[in-house]
Structure 1
Amino acid sequence: MSTETNPKKRRRESYNVDVKQVEIYEDLASMKDEVRLKAAQELVSRFTPESKPTEDQVRKALQRLFRGLCSGRKAARIGFSVALTEVLSQVFASKQSVSGIGVSEAIRIFSTATDPSGSEPGQERKDYYLGRLFGAEAIIKSSILFQPGVPFEEWNTVVGIIIEIGNAKPWLREESGWVLYRALHELANQEAHVRYCEKMIETIRSNGFVKSPEGVAMWLLVQDAFPNAKLPQDVWKYNNDPLDRHDRRTLAKIMKQVSEAEDQSAASGVWNSRLNFAWDAVLSRLADSKPADSKKEKKDKKAEKESSRITFEEFWTEVVDDGLFAAASSDERKYWGFLLFMKIIEEGTLHRTEAIFTKNVVRCLMNQLAVEDRYLHRMAVKAVKTIQKRVSKEAAFASVAVKGLLGHSGSLQFDQITKVKTVEKIVLEADPESLKEIIQRLERLIAVPGTDEPKVAASSRQYFADLFVSIVRTRSSAGEDYTPVLQHILSLFVRYAYFGGEQGEQKQLTANPPISPATQELFRNRINSCLNSLISNIKDPAEVAYVVVRQIRDYQKSKEYGKFIIEIDGAIAESLDAAFKSLKKLSSKDDKDVKDASIQAFRLVYSLTILQVYNGDADAVSMLDELAFCYSKFWGDKKSKKEDRSDASNALVEILLSFASKPSKLFRRMSEQVFGVFADQITADGLQSLISVIEVKENLAGQQEMFDQQDDDEDEEMEDVDSLDSDVEVIDVDDADEENSDEDSGDEDEGEEDEEELAAFDAKLAEALGTHRPDDDNSDLSEADMNDDEMEAVDEMLVKVFKARQQATSKKKDKQDAKETMTNFKNRVLDILEIYVKKCHTSVLALDLILPLLRLVRKSTVKQISQRASDVLREYTRLCKGNAIPSLSTVGDEEDEEEDPIEPVWDLLRAVHKEAMISGLAAHSTAASQASIFLVKVLVAQNKQNISQIVDIYAETRKAQMLSNKCHVQPGFFTDWNNWCVNAGKSMKN
């Protein structure tokens, strides 16, 4: 019977099924928003008053929609809840019931269809609880509970169901509270609905829900929306207000979700990675602290209540800093704390953001940042990025952030502890006004770092000094808006670098603990670093340098900041006074609108020389006298002869060389700038001073030859405290290429020399011990066989042997240091020579550089120097094209008229060819060919008839290549010559 009747039943059911409606319900669960929306519209259109739906249709639709909310399929809850809300609104829009179904019946259908009691434990039960919550929310949103004639008990029924869900399932507590909170929000400011709000508060109180974050949020909303609402009086101890400052400890526990209620179900027991919506509700109702008003005003009851409320600052300290960020607090609650911290950073006013950098917050931030594998490290990194993002959007926030991270609640070594550059990045984003406040704060921290430990204070001061240097580097080219800030930084450095020991008139700036000599030296070094950046990026670097030395002099005279740390005797003082007078005169000569480059350059070198005197450089005093001579010849004496000006030019070159020899980026940049201005005034003697540097060897002997050193230790070494911000420039020494084995045999044999030294040491040690070598097992004398006199004699011998070994090691280090010094010095001079050839390549005097540069390419034991010399020579020959070829007609104007001006060029060409015959690197051969072709162009430009003699010189070189074993000229030398002949021959014939 079943086989005959069942198919008939299925056919009758399929005949009655509304296929379109089935498709609508299916689409309501679609993952696509547009499909769900279209399905909801089609379904709602079937239940409009015009459609006149029947009781059965409405009942089935409600049952289907409520059941659909309990489905875990796709996006069913979203689509079904939207459709349900609209269907309820349409069905009960005009009157209490449609075809016999009322609101009460709809609530019954909802309660039955979403009842989770009959479902299986696990995911199915969770789905029913979620569907029940979504259904209750849809009923409230549809507003059918507030229709005239709807029993008030239905409202209480729905609220009770929602609270029951929150209490039964802690993981749905916040969602349940949010649904009720949104319902209150919809009812807000509608006096007719006050009873609904009062009933909700009474219900959540009776169910232990009121002393929860959600309950606090709802209570506050009712208070604000319905000031006259009758709320339970036995919930809060003071003013019936959860935000009363006397109840702040209770509030702290509630917001941490630690319940004080007798019903412990009020505690959620489930952690959520998102902030509870109640935090927004509470934060929006907190007032910022304000200064006490001296005027007495009458306060109404509301104002009096608000005055007793906890302020934002009090709330943050009690609830967040001492609550979420307490040392004993869990990582989960600290996670919430970081979320709150970032929320205030992103949304809060400057006043509020200033209040959140409290002790525990900053401590936790530093601890989590410092170690990557800590649980909240990523949250701490995110918090720091949030701070930086706020600064990038609102530069004024930089001052607040720096104050918070380095202030009384922060740490002066925040960046060092966390191993990130958070504070530095914030400072570099600050606008001029914020930067001014930051520097004033850091200045106070330099004076009083808050510690009595000298080493800790020195470390903090170094950090701030480096931070100031970073500011100058970043903002030196930012425009005039930052000029006052940069000047203030330099002034600050001057005060602490050169003055101290005694208390000056500015007592509030007295350093405690006192600034150590090492820190003062560090500050002086940082002044050089700042000037180095400013010289490159501002229009008037001479004025900045002059202001620095003038401040030093003024503070020295006024003793405003204590005793000057440098002893200046009468002779030095006289030289300084004369120098300042000359600088003042130079300033008066210079036009304010159109700056004289030579005057500005001279002012710069004059000011920096004075700075060196203040730094205790003994050589700088004699340089002042030489500068005074230069000044008198360039600007002082209008009747000075050309010879005198040449002498002054030569003296200036020597001064610039003295600066260039120092391992300082500032002095390198200054010497290059000044030389660039005076390059066209350089004489043959001045140029020879530069050439003499590149001709000496890169070793100890060359250093002694150049600096007249005889194993003395009188020169001060500048210690690079921090390579990042130090003004000291370190150049790596790169050994020469292996191909240059003949010239670099000394370097290549260094390993063998070490072995020989070690063998000699072993031999002497064995001799002292009266034994064979240490590795000889046939020693026939033991320590036990010696008497006291023999042991004493051995000790004396050992002392001599080890002393000799120490001297040998020290000598080896001296050799290495000398090589580095000479490499650095030669690099500087090559930079200067490159400036010279760029500015004066048309001068015949520049021809004197060709042979020294070519020899340096071959002889240098440092590949870097060899390559640099080759580059300068190539740049020289490249620039001399067309009309830029040096003219020999100017040679001999001041020489013996009988001397042929072209003869030295012939000699130079022959010398270049001899240099090309010497074995060397490929770069040397290329450079020799370039130099030879260049000299050919010079001679041909003088007289085309010279080509005959040039051919003869090349022929002699070719002959030497064929016949002499000592000639190592490369084939490319003649290839370049042949190419030039082809091109030049065509132009000569034309």
Structure 2
Amino acid sequence: MPRKRRRAAEDDDQSANTVARKRQYTEEDSKLAKIYENLASEAETGRIEAAKELISRLDPENNPTSASAERILRRLIRGLCSGRKAARLGYGVALAEVLRKLYGPRSQPIPDFTLTAEDLLSLIIECTKPEAKAAGQEKRDHLLGRLFAWQAVLRSSIAVQPSAPEEKWINFLDLIGNLALFTPWLREECGKILYEFAESLDADEHGQTRARDLMQALKTNKLEKTLEGVAVWLSVRNKFPDSVLPEDVWHKKDPLCTKERRTLAKVMKGDLSSATDHDGGEKKPVKSGASQSHLNFAWLIVITAVIQKYSKHKGGSSSTDVSEFWKFWDVVVDDNLFSSSASHERKSWGFQLFSRVLLTAPGWVFPATFSQNLIRSLINQINDKERYLHSAAEGSLKAMKSRVSREPELAATIIAGLFSEHGSINFDKITKTKTVENIMGLADADAMIKLVPSLCDLMARPGTQDEREANSRRQTLADLLVTAVKSPRAPDAFMPSGESWRDRVVTQFVILAYFVPTNVDNTSPSLPVSDATRAVLKVRLKSCLKHILAGRPEDPSPLLVVNSIRNLSREKTYKVAVQHDEETLKVIQEAYEALGSISQRMTGAGGPERSALHAFSLLYSFAMLELYNGEPDAVSILEELQLCYQSTLESKKAVDTSFDLLLEILLSLVSKPQSVFRAIAEQVFATFAAQLTRDGLQSLVNILEKRENLAGQQELFDQAGSDMDDDEDEEASDVEITEGQLENGNEDEGGGSSTESSNGSTASDDDSDDDSDDDQDEVAEFEKKLAETLKTSKFQAGDQEDVDSDEDDGSDMDDDQMFAIEPALAKVMAERKKLADKKKEGKGAKETVVNFKNRVLDLLSIFVKQQHANPLALEVILPLLRLIRTTPTKQVADKASGVLGELIDSAKKKGLPSPPDDDLVWTLLKDVHTEVSSKEASKLHLNACSRGSIFVAKLLIAQKDSNFDAIVDIYADTAKKCRSRSRMAQDFFVKWDTWWPDTMKQK
């Protein structure tokens, strides 16, 4: 019993102690715990507020105790060993401020607080020392905590204040140096801390003392010839006199000295094995830093220092400085990081460094950075997505484009680097990127002034004796020059020679495309330009002219081209590549005389006359360009143009047939596949649209009525007839064309066509089914003829089922029998090939006709926009409706519907036409309703008919209100005729019923 009572007493004492301990955890402790929790917050504002609250607890008005101050220090130091959230960031900031509060020059003493600076260093080592049996990660966490603690001490500035004992400061530096020396994976961070400290020193006597101690600590810990040591050395040397720096480390105490370049290269690579003691004896090598993929901060410090060193002359333009930087880059960067034996890690550093230089360095250093090994590695890595450093190389290309987007004038320097002897003119082709093309598109006028002459010279002299490679380079350069002309960021500007850079491009194309040099000099092509390259250059020249005229319709570049051809042909150094006969030369001379007359008249002309003169100048220029291109119809076009010009502008009274003749010329231009001729035709047509006659309009309508097959193509272009009859022709050429196969297959014409086009035309779907049936019939016919030739039983009367292959394969024939059927078999195969060729020809014919119709619709679109109030515009409505109904190509139907919508919308906004004869309008309305009654009508067609009918009805009601009753009667008659198609035609009448009540109410 006594034992039980004694045990109960012990339990009571233990319970009392537990209660006592619980009471010790006060509300104040809870607040502190909350503060420490917030110090680890991932939100920066939360960490800052927590640090402020913690520091305020050490203010004198809060009566802090020595125990609480020491407890806060311990808690913060231990918190730095935690990898939780952002604990090291928050605790590091708080520790630096607490140290400044406790030991700084403005600190106020706390009663009984006796922890000295020396004790603080011991406390940090104690709190960050891992246990002997700690796991690897725990040890790393504690070492990181110690590193952040040293950083907090330096940031608090307590170690460098004048009152701090120098021996304690040296001891502190030795602690950091020791951590860097024996913990390679922390060396960069230790070095960064020391570098930041060196940067923060004031250039006074006290700062000089601290800097001397810092450099001595580096030497003592054998860190002076490491990447981090070089960074600290350069920082101190930049701020303090050389007397602060230790002796016998670098020649003239300068790591950037030319005599130390090889040593510096080894140090920057991380190779420290050959370092020696300064007294001449050997020393134990410093352990290399841990492997890392990111670029050491010291590289950027060194590169920046080198650039500053060689930028002392104005703009870094001294040839000596540029040459020295070039040598430095080759030795320290190119041979070091990009050599064939360099590891992936080193090359990764190199690409990161290259990217940073591209983004931040002055432009004068760029030529040196496009070095041999770097460019080779860049091309190799970017060329294959599976390469280990593909992303790193890609980052360098992005850096180029990013820098040029900010400073477009640097485009010339970067492209020159990629095209240098170490790179390739075909850089984009080799790397399968659009780097050069994109950079060219970002260049400004200043860059073009520098770049265009060099590219033109390269196109003339591509730097190779291999003809195939020369052709490839010339075509690549031609594409780049076209990109330059197209660039909206590079307005035309004059070069020092007085010639604009765009004119220089055009002239270079003319020289290489149309001339052969007679006297070889430094400007002559190093290799003759091949015929294939000439053809490419001619196409690129047209593309340049198209884009120039798109931006500036009255630009004289086309005239410059033909004048350049004439002027160069008169020089002894060139001869025209294609010679012409006397008759053609006479036509050319007359054309030049006409151009001279036009140029003189344009000097004092203005308004419509000037526009007309410019239009003829364009036509003459491009017609002559086609003549020099060897086009067979160019001579006839020039002759017709001469007649048209004389009757239109030179005669006192123009005749109606003048525009009809001009229209025929424009139609011959739009029929060509090059888009530049389409642009020229549209520009000229817009100038003379008001002069369009009824006959001219009918010639446009006639094209829209042609069938979209081989027969239609023959009718349009006066080709020789075919022996096939119409039905056979339909079968051979009725091939559906998708929008993607058309030159401009998906244009938004406006005018309400976008909603209607989704309904589509059913004709193309029907044709597609017919084509499928035709193909099956043709295959069956071919197999039948083949079987008859082989004398098998596959197609015997009444039995066309497949039979066993062993009986039909002709394997029982001997050689004589096989030779006997060979002629018949060859005939069957020839017929099959002929049929396939016929279908291919039919498909091409349909594409040609469809594209021609699209171009005519473009001209009609211009006409209805400009001449919406012209009564002649009404005569466009019915042909458009018929085209929508009859064309088997949905895209043509959509485009026609769009043109109709443009007429209606333009008239609605700008003014209705005023037809002189109401009878013609009534006839038009009835014809529109006849279209509605057609059995071939599709939903798109009916929607177009509805818009057209309401538009015509609006014209009639505008003339006379009483016309409404007659219009209703016409709608009623149409409704009777459409009873069998009531569901299809319902929208036609619904739209009328919706429109007329509001219209009549307004009346």
Shorter-normalised TM range? 0.7 to 0.9
Q: Deviations over 1:108-136 (max 9, x none)?
A: 55555555576735344334433444444
Tell me the number of residue pairs that the alignment of Structure 1 and Structure 2 aligns.
Answer: 933
* Correspondence for 1:794: 821
- What fraction of aligned residue pairs are identical, expressed as a percent? 33
* Correspondence for 1:715: none
Q: Is the 8 A contact 2:624 2:638 kept in 1?
A: yes
* Correspondence for 1:757: 778
* 2:672 maps to which of 657, 662, 667: 662
Please report how far the alpha carbon of residue 660 of structure 1 lies from its aligned counterpart in structure 2 after TM superposition: 1.5
Alpha-carbon distance in 2 for matches of 1:176, 1:257: 16
CA RMSD after TM alignment: 4.5
Q: Is the 8 A contact 1:70 1:77 kept in 2?
A: no
Pair 1:614 & 2:628 matched: yes
Q: Is the 8 A contact 1:659 1:671 kept in 2?
A: yes
Alpha-carbon distance in 2 for matches of 1:429, 1:834: 34
* Correspondence for 1:805: 832
Secondary structure of the structure 1 residue equivalent to 2:296:
coil
* Correspondence for 2:788: 767
Secondary structure of the structure 2 residue equivalent to 1:919:
coil
Pair 1:488 & 2:500 matched: no
Alpha-carbon distance in 2 for matches of 1:11, 1:737: 83
Q: Is the 8 A contact 1:47 1:91 kept in 2?
A: no
Please report how far the alpha carbon of residue 982 of structure 1 lies from its aligned counterpart in structure 2 after TM superposition: 7.0
Q: Is the 8 A contact 2:865 2:903 kept in 1?
A: yes
Alpha-carbon distance in 1 for matches of 2:936, 2:72: 98
Q: Is the 8 A contact 2:931 2:937 kept in 1?
A: no
Please report how far the alpha carbon of residue 432 of structure 1 lies from its aligned counterpart in structure 2 after TM superposition: 0.5
Residue type matched to 2:824 in 1?
M
Please report how far the alpha carbon of residue 342 of structure 1 lies from its aligned counterpart in structure 2 after TM superposition: 2.3
Pair 1:688 & 2:709 matched: no
Q: Is the 8 A contact 1:248 1:310 kept in 2?
A: no
Please report how far the alpha carbon of residue 289 of structure 1 lies from its aligned counterpart in structure 2 after TM superposition: 5.4
Residue type matched to 1:538 in 2?
R
Pair 1:334 & 2:347 matched: yes
* Correspondence for 2:618: 604
Q: Deviations over 1:592-614 (max 9, x none)?
A: 68342222222222222112112
Q: Is the 8 A contact 1:916 1:968 kept in 2?
A: no
Please report how far the alpha carbon of residue 818 of structure 1 lies from its aligned counterpart in structure 2 after TM superposition: 0.7
Please report how far the alpha carbon of residue 91 of structure 1 lies from its aligned counterpart in structure 2 after TM superposition: 9.2
Change (3 A) 1:577 1:225: same
Q: Deviations over 1:238-284 (max 9, x none)?
A: 44543232332221221121212353433112426253246415632
* 1:647 maps to which of 657, 670, 674: 657
Please report how far the alpha carbon of residue 397 of structure 1 lies from its aligned counterpart in structure 2 after TM superposition: 1.8
Provide the TM-score with structure 2 as the length reference.
0.81
Pair 1:271 & 2:292 matched: yes
Please report how far the alpha carbon of residue 526 of structure 1 lies from its aligned counterpart in structure 2 after TM superposition: 1.6
* 1:584 maps to which of 576, 581, 596: 596
Please report how far the alpha carbon of residue 439 of structure 1 lies from its aligned counterpart in structure 2 after TM superposition: 1.8
For residues 346-365 of structure 1, the aligned pairs below 5 Å read: 346-365=359-378
* Correspondence for 1:892: none
* Correspondence for 1:524: 538
Alpha-carbon distance in 2 for matches of 1:553, 1:875: 44
Change (3 A) 1:308 1:264: farther
Q: Is the 8 A contact 2:443 2:489 kept in 1?
A: no
Q: Is the 8 A contact 1:65 1:84 kept in 2?
A: no
Pair 1:421 & 2:431 matched: no
Change (3 A) 1:78 1:588: same
Please report how far the alpha carbon of residue 757 of structure 1 lies from its aligned counterpart in structure 2 after TM superposition: 1.9
* Correspondence for 1:631: 645
Please report how far the alpha carbon of residue 811 of structure 1 lies from its aligned counterpart in structure 2 after TM superposition: 0.8
* Correspondence for 2:729: none
Consecutive unaligned residues of structure 1, counting only runs of 5 or more, are 294-306, 713-725, 890-900
For residues 115-130 of structure 1, the aligned pairs below 5 Å read: 115=129, 120-130=134-144
Q: Is the 8 A contact 2:456 2:508 kept in 1?
A: yes
Alpha-carbon distance in 1 for matches of 2:150, 2:299: 21
For residues 865-904 of structure 1, the aligned pairs below 5 Å read: 865-876=892-903, 887=914, 889=916
* Correspondence for 2:687: 677
Secondary structure of the structure 1 residue equivalent to 2:648:
helix
Alpha-carbon distance in 2 for matches of 1:443, 1:106: 71
Change (3 A) 1:2 1:188: farther
Please report how far the alpha carbon of residue 479 of structure 1 lies from its aligned counterpart in structure 2 after TM superposition: 7.2
Q: Is the 8 A contact 1:70 1:129 kept in 2?
A: yes
* Correspondence for 2:580: 568
Deviating more after overlay: 912-921 vs 566-575: 912-921
* Correspondence for 2:6: none
Please report how far the alpha carbon of residue 464 of structure 1 lies from its aligned counterpart in structure 2 after TM superposition: 2.6
Change (3 A) 1:28 1:588: same
Change (3 A) 1:18 1:919: closer
* Correspondence for 1:87: 102
Pair 1:369 & 2:382 matched: yes
Q: Is the 8 A contact 2:745 2:891 kept in 1?
A: no
Q: Is the 8 A contact 2:60 2:108 kept in 1?
A: no
Please report how far the alpha carbon of residue 625 of structure 1 lies from its aligned counterpart in structure 2 after TM superposition: 0.8
Change (3 A) 1:762 1:87: same
Provide the TM-score with structure 1 as the length reference.
0.82
Residue type matched to 2:456 in 1?
E
Secondary structure of the structure 2 residue equivalent to 1:563:
strand
Please report how far the alpha carbon of residue 809 of structure 1 lies from its aligned counterpart in structure 2 after TM superposition: 0.8
Q: Deviations over 1:738-792 (max 9, x none)?
A: 997789866542222222222222233233334445965475895674455x544
Secondary structure of the structure 2 residue equivalent to 1:475:
coil
Alpha-carbon distance in 2 for matches of 1:767, 1:877: 62
* Correspondence for 2:91: 76
* Correspondence for 2:709: 699
Q: Is the 8 A contact 1:549 1:610 kept in 2?
A: yes
* Correspondence for 2:735: none
Residue type matched to 1:811 in 2?
K
Residue type matched to 2:822 in 1?
D
Q: Deviations over 1:562-607 (max 9, x none)?
A: 3322222211111111112112212222256834222222222222
Alpha-carbon distance in 2 for matches of 1:85, 1:171: 29
Q: Deviations over 1:334-361 (max 9, x none)?
A: 2222221222222211112332222232
Change (3 A) 1:984 1:428: closer
* Correspondence for 2:552: 538
Alpha-carbon distance in 1 for matches of 2:117, 2:763: 107
Please report how far the alpha carbon of residue 201 of structure 1 lies from its aligned counterpart in structure 2 after TM superposition: 3.7
* Correspondence for 1:839: 866
Alpha-carbon distance in 2 for matches of 1:444, 1:64: 72
Secondary structure of the structure 1 residue equivalent to 2:222:
coil
* 1:498 maps to which of 499, 514, 519: 514
Alpha-carbon distance in 2 for matches of 1:273, 1:782: 73
Alpha-carbon distance in 2 for matches of 1:364, 1:331: 11
Secondary structure of the structure 2 residue equivalent to 1:396:
helix
Change (3 A) 1:708 1:559: farther
Deviating more after overlay: 910-919 vs 161-170: 910-919
Pair 1:254 & 2:288 matched: no
Q: Is the 8 A contact 2:763 2:889 kept in 1?
A: no
Alpha-carbon distance in 2 for matches of 1:655, 1:956: 44
Residue type matched to 1:457 in 2?
A
* Correspondence for 2:224: 210
Alpha-carbon distance in 2 for matches of 1:477, 1:509: 26
Consecutive unaligned residues of structure 2, counting only runs of 5 or more, are 1-8, 41-45, 276-282, 315-319, 723-739, 748-756, 796-801
Please report how far the alpha carbon of residue 170 of structure 1 lies from its aligned counterpart in structure 2 after TM superposition: 1.4
* 2:301 maps to which of 280, 299, 304: 280
Please report how far the alpha carbon of residue 455 of structure 1 lies from its aligned counterpart in structure 2 after TM superposition: 3.6
Q: Deviations over 1:832-868 (max 9, x none)?
A: 1232233334444445444433332322222222333
Residue type matched to 1:275 in 2?
N
* 2:718 maps to which of 683, 700, 708: 708
* Correspondence for 1:296: none
Alpha-carbon distance in 2 for matches of 1:469, 1:580: 27
Residue type matched to 1:590 in 2?
M
